Amino acid sequence: MTNQPHASPGALRSSADVRQMFGRIVRRYDLMNHLMTGWRDVAWRRRAVDRAIDGRIPTQLRVLDIATGTGDLALGLAAARVECVIGADFVVPMLRVARMKGERCGRGPVAWTLADGLALPFPDETFDACTVAFGLRNMTDFRAAIAEMVRVLRPDGRFVCLELTPYRRPIVGVLFQWYFQTVVPLVGGLLSSDREAYRYLPQSVAAFPPAGSLATMMYEAGLVDVSYQLLGGGTVALHAGARPPSGSPSAVERQRSNGVEEIGG
């Protein structure tokens, strides 16, 4: 394991390590997500779907879901009648499960594709929205990943990121850290037979940029109208931003004038 430079933070582990780890835990991945969040992750993904559509006509949209995992967000987009949904991940066992879930629930159309979020196999300005749920934290360069997702957005396209965020509230934060660093690895280890994977989870969250810092990265990648909402008592952040229409003021200029909007949870 190598330390990431401060100027370009990224995942604590290499892409190869992350790929192997998620391949190992895929069988109990959904169950652990639900248990850890008290099933609130389902509602959080619905909010992410709403932010991706953002009042537009779903049947006219083309959406890319990066680090789709077992496909819950991509399937949620399809259930909202988005015309074209592509779920991309670089972990083959995750994509297999996503495909099977899609076949069982009959939701479509979703196209599943093997792809790395840092090197997307799509032309510039292809999608009306790009989403990533609980996946950015595992990419080796956060800034580069956001920039790559912005690259494939059409002008006025939406970027939406649902992610765990460092929890640093006094007193309650101590209890949460005990739960996250002790209970989660224990339960995750029992269910998945891979306790190390669930030790990595709290470590990766602690090293991830706080919500305000991630919003700044989004501006630096060229997004405008950036906002974030803290969910789960401040343990999860839902970020959203837009690629500016052609000829609009730069993201940096918009940031200076408007700042970042934090929406109440």
Contact 34, 188 (CB under 8 A): no
Amino acid at 99: R
Contact 160, 240 (CB under 8 A): yes
Count, residues in the chain: 265
53-75 pLDDT, tens per residue?
A: 999 999 999 999 999 999 999 99
Q: Is residue 250 part of a domain?
A: yes
CATH code at position 155:
3.40.50.150
Q: Is residue 182 part of a domain?
A: no
Q: Is residue 83 part of a domain?
A: yes
Report how far residue 249's alpha carbon sits from residue 226's, in angstroms, rounded to the nearest whole number: 14
Q: Is residue 180 part of a domain?
A: no
Least trusted range by pLDDT, from 15-19, 131-135, 253-257? 253-257
Give pTM, 2 decimals: 0.89
Show the domain range for 244.
15-165+210-263
Structural domains counted in the chain? 1
Paired tokens of 26: 């895929």
Q: Is residue 7 part of a domain?
A: no
